[in-house]
Structure 1
């Protein structure tokens, strides 16, 4: 099948999102030498709004304008962080995932101007994060620390830290790597210390379903192991029907012959933690995601999620 001469790539306009697009452009240039790409940046409601995401309708706030550009034909390909794509409802009708790129680091990093690690932070340290997932886990493991709300792209958050709005900051390792700022990280947290969000470190390429030529052209960028991990994680979240105020975390790991999924649901205060961890063979990641969700529902996850305002 022929490769389109020009691929217009739509993305959020933040430095992080544009760095992600550059990765896609570079990989496309290797796969299809000579293909031309053009970036169509959009500013989303989630980028403009600095308050509580739930009041904007949750995570879809980062994808709605991108989806609209794709469906209107103003762009051909969208680049998303999987963690920002709602899993409690299907993709917009007429669109499909064409590829999940090889996964980046799923861990979180601490940034402390004094060089301290998480375990070294003294009582009362103000940690900047608006993530309900991070806040719940810190409340459970480091209750002596105080979380202060902090939104904005990574660069903006680092500016706020420098201005004294917080004493330390939690950011995704993959994001810091994308903007070339891993030098500021003073502690990289294990997944046991800070369980990642569903879809962490995964970039998804989304196309219009009827654009068979483009779907075929970009599918070669997909990584099979990442595809299995993303499928298990998103099915888990779909069955759980979590909302953006639900402290839900989890990650799948694909080996050569197996796939595992570990997931947790917390109360916002970190006092209740539900855990599930299951393994599957090579087949059917979606069944694994469903099974882990059911295991947590049996432990009371539904009541826990529904009891949180959103």
Structure 2
């Protein structure tokens, strides 16, 4: 098996993205001590634009420039947060995911300067988030709270919180871990309280299909359980054809005995309609499980729910 001598890693230029690249570099160095790595930073349209993502054509705003750099041959490997990679359309032709790293925490965290938990927040508290998934779930469970749109990386959002643009924030635990800011977490929300986004906590390593040296080198970084979970989740999203304004949530869980489960939910933006499905698969392949759970939601009216939301 040939291994690459130099791997050029393309990444968004945000502190979070660069922290993710450092994790990949460290794992590569551990498995292949002789390897050299270089970082090729790019700024994506999603990073530059702080308005609504749907106006940029959705989540692909975070991946388009990275994909182009990889396809042009200016980099050998791209590191992606899988929750930001659209699943309603195929990966760019000529690329594949060679590995998914072992999954990080999939939960959301509440940050409240006064130290209150979500259930303790008084009516009218302004929660800074632009996530349709979080907005819909808060509308369902905590309708007395007010969501105010807030985008930008975690550091920028925390500055906005400090400046009084919101009273509290919801951020991904895994992201705060990556930038070593778990000190700000007031409460870690259970997946029952706040169902996570598809692909939460997963870093994917994308290569060109014809670059077998890089594929062979990085595939050993992959975690088999995370591969199965992510495959099921992304097939679920693909079958539903959810767009970036669809309040969809869900997570797969691979048990040690080989069983795999997938729980998924679809919401109306106001949280008044909630569709729920939870299925188990024994040796069933993950993509079949993802398809089956998507069909279960479609039978409950998910297609009409998604299509009624402008995007």
Equivalent residues in 2 for 1:115-130 (5 A)? 115-130=115-130
Aligned residue-pair number: 310
1:157-197: CA deviation from partner (whole Å, max 9, x where unpaired): 00000000000000000000000000000000000000000
Q: What's the CA shift string for 1:99-146, capped at 9, x where partnerless?
A: 000000000000000011101100000000000000000000000000
Match of 2:284 in 1: 283
Shift of 1:3: 1.5
Inter-partner Cα distance in structure 2 for 1:296 and 1:130: 24
CA–CA separation in structure 2 for the residues paired with 1:101 and 1:49: 28
Q: 1:192-222: per-residue Cα shift (whole Å, max 9, x none)?
A: 0000000000000000000011101100000
Q: TM-score, normalised by structure 1?
A: 1.00
The Cα of 1:283 is off from its aligned counterpart by 3.1
Deviation (angstroms), 1:5: 1.2
Report 1:1-310 matches (<5 A): 1-256=1-256, 257-310=258-311
- For residue 270 of structure 1, give the secondary structure of its aligned residue in structure 2: coil
Unaligned runs of 5+ in 2: none
Q: Alignment RMSD, CA only?
A: 0.5
Aligned equivalents of 1:16, 1:114: Cα separation in 2: 26
Query: 2:150, 2:88 → 1: CA distance?
Result: 25
| CA distance in 2: counterparts of 1:151 and 1:78, whole angstroms | 23
Distance 2:28 2:120 in 1: 43
**Deviations, residues 6-46 of structure 1 (Å, cap 9, x unaligned):** 10000000000000000000000001001000000000000
Q: Which runs of 5+ in 1 are unaligned?
A: none
Aligned equivalents of 1:51, 1:127: Cα separation in 2? 17
Cα separation, 1, equivalents of 2:217 and 2:283: 26
TM superposition shift of 1:282: 2.7
Cα distance in 2 for partners of 1:263, 1:278 equals 9
- The SS at the match of 1:265 is strand
